[in-house]
Amino acid sequence: MTTDRTTAEGAELQRALDELRRREEEIERLNHELEETNRGVLALYSELEGQAEELRRASELKSSFLSNVSHELRSPLASIINLSRLLLDYDGTVFGDDQRRQAQYISKSAQALFDIVNDLLDLAKIEAGKSDVRAGPVNVAELLGTLRGVFRPLLATDAVVLAIDPAPADLVLMTDEGKLSQVLRNFLSNAVKYTERGEIRLRATPLDGDRVELSVTDTGIGIAPENLERIFEEFVQLEGPLQARVKGTGLGLALTRQLARLLGGTVTVQSAPGRGSTFAVIVPRVWTAEASATAEAARA
């Protein structure tokens, strides 16, 4: 009886030892696979780090190229604009109607190129981290009034009305007026281009959390849902009958989003084909470097 029990216990012990040996072998195999996986992850991380560095260098080169080219182009374009204006302002009888019309074409084309160059230069500065925010008091009511004065003469037809909702007289922001104005000018410029009839409305709305929304609503052609993100990409131009007649580079909204981030804000858009669009920028009442960093981090 004792012998049978001893034999059974010995067999059980042997099975336990065999199971332990199998588990040790399995652990050894898993450790080997883990080591291989770790080596693979390290190699992949090193490769990604190298690619990230290459992308960073490429981005710096692109920004440097855009900046240098833009600077080189600005001076001759400014000369062309000024000379063409002198020709148009000349009161003599040297020019006939055809020559004057051609001088106007030269002036408009040079100005369009000058605007493109300025957009490229602004983008290059922002991407290179060289665009500073010069914060100061900005009276919103006065800013909207200035924009009305600039854009009302640009309406090509009486079929479109530019309306400005009165802003509170005491609504003052501490931000970069030039950059905020540039954002709103871009919104208004697009609204003028793509609205053939109806209304373009500019308004300022105080929000909770010490933020303010400045928006431009139009009754233009609108934008399809699948294109609402694409329009903020550089050099993107949507296709369509009206878009084909409107010249541009697709830099404006890309620059606008970058400027809004510098101001610690965000850009939003609501639109539908045939029902118009609302572009808005939401900015803090008081700009801080931390707000800009937070807005830039949200980009990722």
Q: Give the model's pLDDT for residue 244.
A: 47
pLDDT digit string (tens) for 259-274?
Answer: 999 999 999 999 999 8
Q: Which residue has the higher pLDDT, 228 or 112?
A: 228
Tell me, yes or no, whether 106 and 142 share the same domain. no
Q: Give the model's pLDDT for residue 172.
A: 95
Tell me, yes or no, whether 207 and 107 share the same domain. no
272: number of Cβ within 10 Å: 12
Highest mean pLDDT among 6-10, 54-58, 137-141, 292-296: 137-141
Average pLDDT over residues 3-12: 71
Q: Specify the number of domains making up the chain.
A: 2
Chosen domain end from 131, 150, 182: 131
Tell me, yes or no, whether 112 and 185 share the same domain. no
Q: Give the model's pLDDT for residue 75.
A: 79
Stretch (H or E) spanning 210: none
Tell me, yes or no, whether 80 and 165 share the same domain. no
Give the range of the structural domain holding residue 214, as residue numbers without chain letter.
136-297
Tell me, yes or no, whether 289 and 164 share the same domain. yes
Tell me, yes or no, whether 184 and 101 share the same domain. no
Tell me, yes or no, whether 124 and 170 share the same domain. no
Chosen domain end from 131, 161, 190: 131
Determine the Cα–Cα distance for residues 204 and 214; give it in Å rounded to an integer.
4
Structure tokens at 267: 């850009």
Tell me, yes or no, whether 262 and 141 share the same domain. yes
Chosen domain end from 96, 131, 166: 131
Nearest alpha carbon to residue 195 among 164, 161, 236, 229:
161
Determine the Cα–Cα distance for residues 74 and 87; give it in Å rounded to an integer.
20
SS3 of residue 155 by DSSP: coil
pLDDT of residue 60 exceeding 90 = no
